[in-house]
Structure 1
Amino acid sequence: MPTSELPTTEQCKNCEKTFDASFDYCPYCGQETADNLTIGVLFSNTIDNYISIDARFFRSFGTLMIKPGVLARRFVDGKRLKYLHPAQFYLFISVIFFFIFSFTIRKADNEVSEAIKKGLEQEINLDSVRVNTDSLGIAEAQKALKKNQKIIGISDKDMAELDSVMVSDPQVANLSFGFKREKLDSLITAGAPLDQKIKAMGMKEDANAFTRRFYTQMLKFYEKQGGGILQALYDTIPVAMFLLLPFFAMFLKLFYWKPATFTHHLVFSFYFFTFIFTSFSIMLLVNKVWEIPIWLEVLICFSFAIYLMLALRNFYKSSWVGAFFKAGIISFLYMLIIVPVAAIGIIMVAFMLY
């Protein structure tokens, strides 16, 4: 009698279980049996899994831009295969925004760094000269800040207060590092240990870890002459913006306690911030070819509140009056409490990681 051919088996390289060699995929874990890990496969899988630029993107993008709150409502209601996941959509758009914004911030960083460098390079030998040189450095820094005021995000009111303080407060006007720069410069030139240099800057022997870190960062700032300080601030913003999302969802929860769970509020927040990032990305691109007037930029920013009102009405099925007042209160409280605290935190973290 003819003997039948024994079936051949293959071992999965992922889960290490055996299966019929004729299978194209492992029946246990789903990994492809062919080991064809090429560069094309590697990056195509990455794009497919995390970016997914397909019909879902364009369907989600159109709904997000022209139908406030509808995309979040449909996702919460279970229509999820037709649209991009809210976190995925947010990450994709935020990457595009910060990529475009990086070209703008780079120019501003160079100008601010150059202004700081000029102030620090002034030779200080006499107290009378100290006032003039330090004032010159401050003036250069103020000039650079005013030139890049929109990019950095300083309001006209804050800029006016900064100018008045610089003029009226003699301690600020005579701003200096408060230590003997000649001694520190000699230690830096001689390659002295870190402890000697930060002690020369005024750090006490019994300083705690935070104070020691602060003096270390001040030394780095002095040695680099302020170079890259704005870039360090920029690098901190994406993470901070992502962490601010739950706070926005918390405000929504306060005003819409019963209609939705906190997860639903997060979905709404992801899509709303995605809309904001998309709008700013378009504004940055338009600014490359045509400078948008200030009044139009203010009008566009004001339209975010209108978008929020429409989104609240469509997502939470709120009345027009309720959506109007809640959108205004949420925006006001968020800008009054969360954004200033976050800005201070971003500046501190950026400086400590500089």
Structure 2
Amino acid sequence: MSQHLRHEKNCLNCGATVEDRYCSHCGQENIVVKESFGHLFRHFFEDVTHYDSKFFTTIKDLVFKPGFLTKEYLSGRRASYLHPIRMYVFISFLYFLAAFTFRHSNFKLEEITQERTIMAAKKEVADSLLQILQETGNKTPVDSIKSAALAGTISRLRLDTIHVKEIKFNVVGNIDYQLLKEYHEGQMALPAERRDKGIKPWLYSRWFATIEHHGEAAVELLIEKTQHAIPKLMFLLLPLFALILKLFYNKKKYYYGDHAIFSLHFHSAAFLLFFIIALLNKVVPAVATFLSSLELFLLIAYMTIALKNAYQQSFFLSLVKAIGLSVIYGIFIAAGFAIIALSALIM
């Protein structure tokens, strides 16, 4: 590589004096402007293998040495590992990509939407024909025959739409549509001042309106909306986890930024576990189901060891803090999921 270094000592990027291979001011390598393809390929290979070695070293230590990366980062030993934010973004991206890709829809949304469009069109035609029938009346025997035929067509169209609706809307997901319909109609029959107040009537009315609009696809659409909001939710909850950590440790010894580093490493490990389960669910569903049942236990065990190694406290104290963190954080996660689910109902 030395033959590709420039003899001149001025940095082409910032103009500073370059004493060695890299500029101490901006970090650019002091190499000749025109490079051969072979040199470009070698440069690319060195960069890739260097990145790969950092990546695999970081992942190995993240998995098998809980809390080690945080301790190394806070000690200033950072060059050998991926930056915590970059690692979190990369691993969480892999997990959500796998989760959205491997998830099998119970409904074919496009087919359902098309079927509902046809049903709506049939109903509109039936209503239009009925209006024509009512306006023209029966003036002659021929008109009576035409009217009878028209009435038969209207009847068939209406039966089609009713039949489809009964099949689709008895139960949507785990939601009893008939119960929602009866409750909604019962409330609408009452004067406004006598109708139920609070979250229950609001939820029932929103579910009823959503199912009326989307049909069998309602639950599936709600799940999709909720899932697509989860990455944003977790990115907001990540700094909150660091804030909760601050309550458990000496505020003079550890800054909020220190807890944020631990939060990034822990969430990276959690998403890596979720990613592995998602992959196994595609290949070996039985193993994935078994791991999913142990998910909470594995995360608390990992957190306990990570807290012990990163903050240098006893195992028992770290376990107590891990359980406390899990309970508090779990409440915020549940609240976050409830909020995005309700938001999905509103939209």
TM-score, length basis structure 2: 0.60
Q: Does 1:340 align with 2:339?
A: no
Where do 1:133-144 residues align within 5 Å? 136-139=167-170, 141-142=172-173
CA contact (8 A) 1:119 1:136 kept: no
**2:237 aligns to what?**
244
CA contact (8 A) 1:130 1:174 kept: no
Where do 1:163-182 residues align within 5 Å? 171=182
Residues 325, 118 of structure 1: CA spacing in aligned structure 2 closer, same or farther, 3 A cutoff?
A: farther
**1:195 aligns to what?**
none
Aligned partners of 2:61, 2:254: CA distance in 1, in Å? 21
Match of 2:64 among 59, 63, 66: 66
Q: What SS does the corresponding residue of 2:89 show, helix, strand or coil? A: helix
Residues 169, 222 of structure 1: CA spacing in aligned structure 2 closer, same or farther, 3 A cutoff?
A: closer
**1:154 aligns to what?**
none
**1:34 aligns to what?**
33
Q: Gaps (5+ residues) in structure 1?
A: 1-7, 143-161, 179-213
> Shift in Å at residue 136 of structure 1?
4.3
User: Radius of gyration: which is bigger?
Assistant: 2
CA contact (8 A) 2:277 2:291 kept: no
Aligned partners of 1:18, 1:312: CA distance in 2, in Å? 44
Match of 2:76 among 75, 78, 88: 78
> Shift in Å at residue 321 of structure 1?
2.2
**1:286 aligns to what?**
280
**1:301 aligns to what?**
296
Letter aligned with residue 34 of structure 1:
V
Match of 2:316 among 321, 325, 342: 321
Aligned partners of 1:25, 1:328: CA distance in 2, in Å? 48
Q: Does 1:234 align with 2:210?
A: no
Residues 228, 113 of structure 1: CA spacing in aligned structure 2 closer, same or farther, 3 A cutoff?
A: farther
Q: What SS does the corresponding residue of 1:108 show, helix, strand or coil? A: coil
Q: Gaps (5+ residues) in structure 2?
A: 1-7, 128-154, 189-205
CA contact (8 A) 2:102 2:282 kept: no
Aligned partners of 1:341, 1:52: CA distance in 2, in Å? 42
CA contact (8 A) 1:116 1:141 kept: no
CA contact (8 A) 1:118 1:137 kept: no
Aligned partners of 1:48, 1:349: CA distance in 2, in Å? 44
Residues 318, 120 of structure 1: CA spacing in aligned structure 2 closer, same or farther, 3 A cutoff?
A: farther
Match of 2:249 among 233, 248, 256: 256
> Shift in Å at residue 299 of structure 1?
1.4
Match of 1:104 among 99, 102, 105: 102
CA contact (8 A) 1:310 1:323 kept: yes
Residues 234, 260 of structure 1: CA spacing in aligned structure 2 closer, same or farther, 3 A cutoff?
A: same
Cα displacement string for residues 111-144 of structure 1 (whole angstroms, at most 9, x for unaligned residues):
4676687678766789x999987664344531xx
Aligned partners of 2:83, 2:26: CA distance in 1, in Å? 24
**2:265 aligns to what?**
271
Residues 290, 325 of structure 1: CA spacing in aligned structure 2 closer, same or farther, 3 A cutoff?
A: same
CA contact (8 A) 1:69 1:315 kept: yes
Aligned partners of 1:244, 1:236: CA distance in 2, in Å? 12
> Shift in Å at residue 326 of structure 1?
1.4
Q: What SS does the corresponding residue of 2:226 show, helix, strand or coil? A: helix
Aligned partners of 1:256, 1:116: CA distance in 2, in Å? 53
TM-score, length basis structure 1: 0.59
Residues 350, 249 of structure 1: CA spacing in aligned structure 2 closer, same or farther, 3 A cutoff?
A: same
> Shift in Å at residue 87 of structure 1?
0.8
Q: What SS does the corresponding residue of 2:286 show, helix, strand or coil? A: coil
> Shift in Å at residue 101 of structure 1?
1.4
Cα displacement string for residues 3-47 of structure 1 (whole angstroms, at most 9, x for unaligned residues):
xxxxx9x996x77x799xxxx9999756677388x9xx8xx98x9
Letter aligned with residue 260 of structure 1:
Y
Q: What SS does the corresponding residue of 2:101 show, helix, strand or coil? A: helix
Structure number having the greater helix percentage: 2
Residues 87, 131 of structure 1: CA spacing in aligned structure 2 closer, same or farther, 3 A cutoff?
A: same
**1:157 aligns to what?**
none
Residues 349, 81 of structure 1: CA spacing in aligned structure 2 closer, same or farther, 3 A cutoff?
A: farther
Match of 1:330 among 317, 325, 328: 325
